[in-house]
Amino acid sequence: MSTQTTTATEPKRRRFTLPSAYTILFALIVLMAIATWIIPAGEYDLNKAGEPIPGTYHEVESHPSRILVDSITAPINGLYGIENKAGNINYYNSGVLFGAIDVALFIIVIGGFLGITMKTGAIQAGIGRLVNRLRGRERLMIPILMGVFALGGSTYGMAEESLAFYALVIAVMIAAGYDALTGAAVVLLGCGIGTLGSTINPFATGIASGFAGVSISDGLIGRLVILIIGLAIGVFFVMRYAERVKRDPTSSLVADMRADNESRFRVQEEGDSGTPELTGKHKLILALFGLAFVVMMYGVIPWEDMGIEILTLWWWFPEMTASFLLFSIIIGLVAGMREGELTETFVDGARDLLGVALIIGIARGITVIMNNGGITDTVLNWAETALDGVGSTSFLIVMFLLFLPLSFLIPSSSGLATVAMPIMAPLATFVDVPEDLVVTAFQSASGLMNLFIPTSAVVMGGLAIARVPYGTYLRWVWPLLVMLAVLTIVVLSLGAAVA
């Protein structure tokens, strides 16, 4: 009797995949609602600045949540800035009362701004021109291109937009004698290190600073140090590998796919295969694009408090949102867009970031549940007790290490900032650490994790375009990740020492 195999008819086992950020955040809302029935309610006395005074915690009457009703309404109340108990949301250290609606609206307008700029082809043309101008000077391509991509990551959180450049950069790197991994690394690590060292990135630094109650300019020096030194380390790491591949192509980690990649990736000339030629209009649009971020920085920096006698605008999210809206219109008009095309492009760009805005609302709902149930200060008190006797340096290292697994669970930097900052930032008060260092710890941990976590669409998408196996990339990049983590810890420690 013959033995029959059932392998072909057996259903394939489904791999476990981590739930989306929306599901994780909503699950946390439900868990927090349940926690209000278990964790005792309590409060800190506040000083005139609205900061919790260490050692003044005391228990108060409990306000447990209605698990189903309050879990559903929490994200909505978080956006509007409504709490059932007090009627508003008080962000420690901010001195103002507001919900997350201004942050969400800012994100949506930024999406429209980026959508219009990308539609003009100016960014694509600028990078295309740079790539083609550097041909024949292969060694210079890696640091210059990584610097350009890092600038995008540091200023406006360049991420998904970078996927458009993988094929072009990989093609040029292969033609220069390198490999597909080198090309992918130039884009992925360039943007990623820029985001890790975000200076004025509205999606990471801006939102985190807002919920921490500090200016986006606070802590800028430390973040610049991380950006510059981190980029230098990344460039050295990529260049060392690239030169090894050029000397000995068999040393490439994707050597078995070299012939296939050479035929698949063809070097594009400027204006070829959808890469537009850089025109005078494109140059003007790029200048306006950069000016939008310069204006934002000028508007939010408290020059008066710094002793600099120039006009201080005291901008925050409403003014920044209006500024980017204005620049969106100006760039669209310069590009020659008709009214219908301009508005449609803006709405399409805003739609691309609508998911991020929704994440902010859901994430803010967690804090609403905790505040309504009176357990936020109880959690702070537990943390204060645990951190009793811990120095400022140890505190920041613990913060950085804590943000690493949180960034894996919530890969959205905007969502994580909304969840964590209202809780983590007040902890800095207990150990006399400036809140901006907590922001730096957050964004560095989030940026580091998004260089390699498999839940990142940019990581997996970029590697898929380059056809670099994820395991191969992970084995290659881990020494760089360790160096960047050490750099961040050193900068945080120095920041704590001089604070």
What is the C-alpha separation between 185 and 233, in angstroms, rounded?
Answer: 13
* Every domain of the chain and the residues it spans: 21-32+68-82+93-498
What is the C-alpha separation between 272 and 295, in angstroms, rounded?
Answer: 34
Q: How far apart are the first and last CA of the chain?
A: 81
What is the C-alpha separation between 407 and 488, in angstroms, rounded?
Answer: 16
What was the pLDDT predicted at 276?
66
What was the pLDDT predicted at 331?
96
What was the pLDDT predicted at 347?
95
In 3D space, the residue among 161, 163, 139, 143 whose CA is nearest the CA of residue 152 turns out to be 161
Q: How many CB atoms lie within 10 A of CB 109?
A: 25
Tell me the β-bridge partners of 349.
Answer: none
What is the C-alpha separation between 72 and 359, in angstroms, rounded?
Answer: 14
Q: What is the pTM of this model?
A: 0.71
Contact 107, 345 (CB under 8 A): no
Burial zone of 63 (CB within 10 Å; 0-12 exposed, 13-18 middle, 19+ buried): middle
What was the pLDDT predicted at 255?
86
Contact 192, 153 (CB under 8 A): yes
Tell me the β-bridge partners of 294.
Answer: none
- Helix, coil or strand: residue 90: strand
What is the C-alpha separation between 299 and 216, in angstroms, rounded?
Answer: 10
In 3D space, the residue among 59, 96, 52, 56 whose CA is nearest the CA of residue 428 turns out to be 52
What is the C-alpha separation between 350 and 359, in angstroms, rounded?
Answer: 14
What was the pLDDT predicted at 386?
72
Backbone angles phi, psi at 339, to 5 degrees: -55, -45
Q: Which residues of the chain have pLDDT under 50?
A: 1-10, 85-98, 268-271, 273
For residue 52, give both structure tokens.
């919790």
Q: How many CB atoms lie within 10 A of CB 140?
A: 11
Contact 440, 223 (CB under 8 A): yes
Tell me the β-bridge partners of 43.
Answer: 58
- The DSSP secondary structure of 338-355, one letter per residue, reads -HHHHHHHHHHHHHHTHH
Backbone angles phi, psi at 46, to 5 degrees: -110, 145
- The DSSP secondary structure of 49-68, one letter per residue, reads TSPBPTT--EE-------HH
